[in-house]
Amino acid sequence: MVLVGKYNKSTMKKLICVLKQGFNKKSNFYKENISIAIFALSVFVLCLIFALRAFRPVLYIVRVNDSVFDEYISNAPLPQKKYHLLFVKESDQKAVKQHFFGKLKKIAANIENHQEIGLLNYEYSENQKFFEILNEPILPSVQADFNAKGLDSTLSSPKLSITFSDTNNLPNGNRAILVDNLYANDESYKLNVKKGVLCTVFDKKKSKAIFDYCEKLFVNPEVKQSNEVVTIASVGDIMVARGVQEILINKENGIQQVFDDTLPILQNADFTLGNLEGVVTESWKNATKTYTFKFKKAVLPKLLEAGFDYFMQTNNHCYDYGEPGFKDTLAAFEEFNIPSSGIGKNLEEAKKFYHTTIKGLPISVISCGAFPVERSGFNGEKTATATQSRAGILWKSDELLELVKAEKELGYFVIVNVHGGEEYVFAPTKKQREFYESLCDNGADVVFGSHPHVLQPTEWHGKSLIVYSMGNFIFNGMEGMRGGTDSEIVKIGVLNGRIAYVEQYPAAIKNNGVKLKK
């Protein structure tokens, strides 16, 4: 714009005022618009912030008891990515603290230690679930005086004192007693404590994911199986000549006739052992001895049907028909797949333990001879012991003790059968005690003894059990011998690798068989 002409002072002042007013109006216009812009921007930012917070992802928190977290969750694969779950320690406050722009943390569930007592009933809401980790039975036990007679041998004894403990703290010298005639592993056994965790879910949308994950994490069938009771039964001398094998082989109900009411005990045990007193052979070339016993092969499946799972052969009648007869027995055992040990075609075979696993319990069994020289002059150690070139049996030795020790160190429940002691003597000899106790000291969990033909004591040696002699079980012709017809079945229950139950069933030889004493 060009101003032409002359202007006086008054005109100039008016012009300057007009220009100033215009400038001020324009400045106010800009100021007002900037304020509006700033306000609008602020509103937009706030809206954006609230929008971001409103639509931020949710992280569901599962709070876990510290001890449960350390034992089961700290090293476990977590389902966070798939289910947006975060498992945190109960004591970890930082993990649940909310951050302004972080994920929205929401407590979805709580997991805590919990236990149920079997005698009580428990009810949980639909948003709760108990996961059993370990079923810990409570064992009532009594001092095991195996040789008590009369009232003192029953649960009615005024001297009776019952102790309650878990399986790992069963007092030495005690034996557990059945509850309602049930072992600790029975599903109906009520005297137990179920240990586990209780999961309480607060957000129903996540209940299935959380419960499914807990099922995989806490429910472990192998742990529960450790509470299985393995029952092992053993009997004394079985001599099926003198008419017994003919009954077993030829009569339709021969097994029932011979074994009578002992049959359910033999058949229901998880593992049943016996000492087969004689050889399985057709040979007629018997050794020069006071008594020689031999049996027909056809009797073996009948004995297996009666419930026997293992037969000992390391006895003083194993060589009644010499080495050929002994080899015939080995062949017959192999033919009918009859487990045994401590016998073989040579010493190396005789040293081998028999191994089996029952309900998760690894079992190792060895048998050996330790019987004295017979009056007839038969010397089992010199005549029947296996060598590098001769078939025979394993004899007691320091090496055997080392073998037992090695088996125990491998984690087996070790059973040792010993044919030893003096015949018709009702108490173990000093040498017999020393050897049987040394077997226990080196790892044998139970020692089953035979040979005396009469009953001898059953005793604890630490946590191990020694049954010095179970007498005869099937043995016709013993009526004239003092104590010769007295018998017993010894049944043990192994829980968590240790003998917890010890049951004795008195029996007697009668009418070509055996029957429980009432």
Identify the pLDDT of residue 92.
74
Burial class (CB in 10 A: 0-12, 13-18, 19+), 290: exposed
Distance CA 170, CA 499 (A): 10
Identify the pLDDT of residue 19.
52
Distance CA 450, CA 469 (A): 5
DSSP string, 68-136: HIIIIITTSPP-HHHH-EEEEETT-SGGG---SSS-EEEEEEEEEEEEEETTS-----TTEEEEEEEEE
Distance CA 332, CA 312 (A): 14
Six-digit token pair at 283?
């040979």
Identify the pLDDT of residue 2.
43
SS3 178: coil
Which residues contact residue 121 at a Cβ distance below 8 angstroms, ignoring those fewer than 6 apart? none
Identify the pLDDT of residue 31.
59
Burial class (CB in 10 A: 0-12, 13-18, 19+), 158: exposed
Which residues contact residue 344 at a Cβ distance below 8 angstroms, ignoring those fewer than 6 apart? 330, 350, 351, 352, 386, 391, 392
Identify the pLDDT of residue 346.
97
Q: Tell me the pLDDT of the chain (518 aa) as tens digits.
A: 444 445 566 666 665 665 556 555 555 555 566 777 777 777 666 666 565 555 566 778 888 888 888 888 777 766 655 666 788 888 877 666 766 656 667 888 899 999 888 788 889 998 999 998 887 888 999 887 787 655 445 555 556 688 888 888 899 889 998 988 999 888 888 888 888 899 999 888 888 888 888 888 887 655 444 568 999 999 999 999 999 999 999 999 999 999 999 999 999 999 999 999 999 999 999 988 889 999 999 999 999 999 999 999 999 999 999 999 999 999 999 999 999 999 999 999 999 999 999 999 999 999 999 999 998 889 999 999 999 999 999 999 999 999 999 999 999 999 999 999 999 999 999 999 999 999 999 999 999 999 999 999 999 999 999 999 999 999 999 988 999 999 999 999 999 899 999 999 999 999 899 999 98
Which residue has tokens 């008054």? Answer: 10
Whole-prediction pTM value? 0.79
Q: Which of 345, 267, 271, 329 is nearest to 297 (CA)?
A: 329
Which residues contact residue 91 at a Cβ distance below 8 angstroms, ignoring those fewer than 6 apart? 66
